[in-house]
Amino acid sequence: MSFIAVLFALVIEQARPLARGNWIHASFRGLARWASRSMDAGKPHHGWITWLVAVVLPALVTLAVHWLLWNVNILLAFLWSVAVLYVTLGFRQFSHYFTDIRDSLEQGDEAAARSLLAQWQQVDASEIPRSEIVRHVIEHSVLAAHRHVFGVLCWFSVLAALGMGPAGAVLYRLSEFVARYWVYKSKVPAAGEGASPALQRVAVGAWGAIDYVPARLTSLGFAVVGSFEDAIDAWRSYSLRVPLGAPALQHARNDGVILAATSGAVNVRLGGEALKPAVFAGPAHQVVPGIANGEAVDDMPALQEPLAGRQPEIAHLRSIVGLVWRSVVLWMVLLALLTLARLLG
């Protein structure tokens, strides 16, 4: 049933994607805002309580609804899984930026491509050259595909196999969202909704731990459907160059592993200087006091030094699309086999 639920959700999401600013995502933003305002008192244990309320509580509610519907009617539980996956899973939540930037570059309109990249990532892209536009689009698109599709599939598949329905999809997406949202709000003084350093440490550290295995499964999938030896070699090279460091920076290492595997899989040079965030005045990497001995927890470049490969070109954008869709097929085949094994077992 998991395979069919994912298939239905992907088809529905492609045909009728959720609108930007929809009430469901707005509700999750409201929950994260309320939790940080009401429970974040600046201590580590307050941070964990806030994180549990904003992330684990919705996942438990999702689980409770699943079990309730399962006891009433299996079809209702199936429809609930499809509905939750429709909200948490899918390409159309970010792919319009990729498509519009690619079309602008193919038409030679680099100014429009820079403007779209700036809108997408809230960065200053006014002076970067064409190849750097392509590089950043590849990096952001691959990471977005991982967070919106492959990571969700991983956690959904594991917890669904344990009888927990779509709770894993909610846990994964909300853990990523609050880590990004609370750090972002802390950058904008006018918002008045910034999270304490303790809460940011908790959220970013939890996100790094939750994404550890999915990031490596995504990288392995890219290697299988791309150039396997080159992808593994780039992955190994990155792992040797980047020390383990602090747990608060695990999320950056996860992203680095994915980008390294992507670089080798399609033979493109990724990594280098990150774009400067445009949402606040100051250095490119905001330092959160007390985190990782003064190291930044947000916007830290996952690949600070470029990996080997060809200079990014527009043709690589098409290669990335093929790589991602082949990975989707690989995941769906594996999920179908697991579903079949459960039915036969």
CA atoms of 92 and 19, how far apart (whole Å):
9
d(CA 320, CA 143): 12
- Backbone CA torsion sign across 321, 327, 331, 332: positive
DSSP state of 268: B
- pLDDT of 122 higher than 80: no
Distance CA 315, CA 266 (A): 11
* pLDDT tens figures, 289-331: 333 333 334 444 455 666 667 888 899 999 999 999 999 999 9
Q: What are phi and psi of 12, to 5 degrees?
A: -65, -40
Tell me the torsion sign for CA atoms 254, 24, 40, 186.
Answer: positive
Compute the distance between CA of residue 95 and CA of residue 328 in angstroms, rounded to an integer.
15
The structure tokens listed for 322 are 């093929």
pLDDT at res. 121: 80
Span 134-152, average pLDDT: 93
| 8 Å CB contact between 63 and 167 | yes
Q: How far apart are the first and last CA of the chain?
A: 14
pLDDT (tens digit per residue) in 74-114? 999 999 999 999 999 988 878 888 999 999 998 988 899 99
- The C-alpha atoms of residue 195 and residue 57 are separated, in whole angstroms, by 19
CB 283 within 8 A of CB 254: no
Widest CA span of the chain, in angstroms?
A: 59
Task: Quote the pLDDT of residue 97.
Answer: 86
Distance CA 68, CA 109 (A): 53
| Predicted confidence (pLDDT) per residue in 230-286, tens digit | 999 999 988 888 766 555 578 888 999 999 999 999 999 988 766 554 433 233 333
Q: Is the dihedral of CA 236, 238, 242, 244 positive or negative?
A: negative
Measured CA distances, 325 to 60, 174, 222, 315, 320 (Å): 31, 24, 10, 16, 9
Neighbours of 61 (CB within 10 A): 12
Identify the pLDDT of residue 308. Answer: 67
| 17 CA to centre of own chain | 18
Hey, what are 62's tokens? 């999702």
Beta bridge mates, 268: 310
Q: What does the domain layout of the chain look like in residue ranges?
A: 2-344
Position 287 scores a pLDDT of 31
How far apart, in whole angstroms, are the C-alpha atoms of residue 47 and residue 244?
24
Under 8 Å between Cβ of 322 and 262:
no
Residue 225: closest CA among 274, 261, 194, 176: 261
